Amino acid sequence: MECTKLHENFVNTRNTLFPKEVLDLFVDLGIDYTKDTRINPKVMENGQFCYEGNFQFIGNLIKGDSCKIEINNEHTVFELSPINDHFSIGFHQDDTPFFNQHVIHVEFSITEPKTIASRRRESII
């Protein structure tokens, strides 16, 4: 399946993909969940749709661990915290300030439930 169609699927269904408590958090942080910085859609081996992406905002990471993990200065992985069986989230701060302010990245991963993904896959193939 084309990445473009998967991205369109995310855009058309994102209002059902984010848990309510995450949408509430986004409101508190001033994040518009329709204005993501990056989305990487993919189809997993079992046929489920998975979306990984992030949002950014200006601020400081005051409490909690960064989800960004550097491996041998060659690879970066994100250790996200699960909110439910289908959604995980994490935060990290850029090392380099942007106009003397820090950028906070909100990383997320969404896996659509298999039944929903199957219906969506049939409708967009």
Which pLDDT value is given to residue 117? Answer: 47
Range of weakest confidence among 2-16, 17-31, 69-83:
2-16
For the chain, the domain total comes to 1
Instruction: Report pTM.
Output: 0.83
Give the chain's mean pLDDT: 85
pLDDT in tens, 14-63: 888 999 999 999 999 999 999 999 999 888 888 888 999 999 998 888 88
Mapped to the 3 state alphabet, what secondary structure does the chain carry? CCHHHHHHHHHHHHHHHCCHHHHHHHHHHCCCCCCCCEEEEEECCCCCEEEEEEEEEECCCCCCCCCEEEECCCEEEECCEECCCCEEEEEEECCCCECCECEEEEEEEEECCHHHHHHHHHHHC
Range of the domain at 32: 3-124
